[in-house]
Structure 1
């Protein structure tokens, strides 16, 4: 594009400086042929052509804007398509612009041509920055989905660089966005490592607490053996309800120790069991017995 721009500038300058002097008749002839009566009129014609070309180029840019900004899509060949839009605009300008007949006309031609290229490049570069932002988000998602975080850092960065290269044209740089992405990836990796360390530390503390409780339980068992002797493997439980009363007698024998408990518990289910209830129908002497053996 710069090469075409230089060729156009050289061609225009050669037309204006090929002859050291120009007669008034020749100058008038060239002005009439160029369709311009003064440098001011010539500049206005170029500006009108510039506005027309920018308007026609906006239609092509609208398609890219819809895909990138509105739909959030990635245009893989954004750089090539941007080059094509700019090149077509410069070619249209060169074809429609009248011939420069003086150094001031050539300067105006060069200035407006440069403004045209900068305007197109600026509007397309805005889409480029938006796409870089989307590429950065995709790289972060790719990093999060990869279980191997060490390898994920390199893969996310390589993905961003490859996609950004395809989206760039001459003069567009993505170094700042890449540095920002790398900083985010590093911070994310540090935070994940800190969270993993906290989980590991909590698991170690829990394991230490369990070990401590087990040791305390063993000490208690040893003290019980010293105080009460060898504990029996028998665990016996007994319950007896005194007939026609709400008194319930419970007894247990566990680890060599006996426990007797007397409680007053209403028999809520007695009306459903008939006039005699359980007291006249369970075991000899209305005695209930439970037996648990531990080995």
Structure 2
């Protein structure tokens, strides 16, 4: 439709229904002269006279009647659609698409969604599990979930989880063959299970810190894996040391299947954040989900 086309049709419909330029102008909140000019422009574009004008009345021509038959149901449908869109501003409904890592989905998103969704049946949530950093604008996601340190500076970031810690672990059988490392530098003499990063395809450099001094260590070993469940399985079977998030191994440590070392080199770091573009117009569904996920520090 050409520029101003819908406005021209709306103007014609008002005049045809009111049978008066004066009443139609009042209905549309415009001047009579502007309305007359709009209708004339529409007639010139179509090459047809749509209204018969006299000093006392205005009436549609045959062409005008045919156009009215088309316009009324079409504009009624448009009005209905606009009304439905307006309801979305008030009623939490619609689909929210989020890209996230598996760990964040299982520990943060899933518990929140299990509580929220039963009370809001018109909200749909699509979770895309992807360890790689996704361009949420290009891929048409509403938001992403990543560690706070991974969120781009031009995004709005909302903290949705507690601080996290890493844990370096090995099986008791492994430590019968090799002494426990006393510092991260000692890891060069150990069999370590490397993690292949999905984002860049490189190997994860194990990140440590003590007294504010960071230290990254490139480790080596027989195994390179890109799945944490397999890494933990290999560690439990004594095939090497594993470096993973603390909460993923606490149960195995408590059961005695794994032993933790270098805890003093693993301080807390910012946990998961929900992030989205600052220019995003939030729907009620999205705003509700953000509030349900927002992390609140316990007093």
TM-score strictly above 0.5? no
- Structure with more of its chain in strand, by fraction: 2
- Structure with more of its chain in helix, by fraction: 1
Coarse TM-score class (shorter-chain normalised): under 0.3
The structure with the largest alpha-carbon Rg is 1
Name the TM-score, length of structure 1 as normaliser: 0.24
Name the TM-score, length of structure 2 as normaliser: 0.24
Pick 1 or 2: higher relative contact order, CA cutoff 8 A, min separation 6: 2
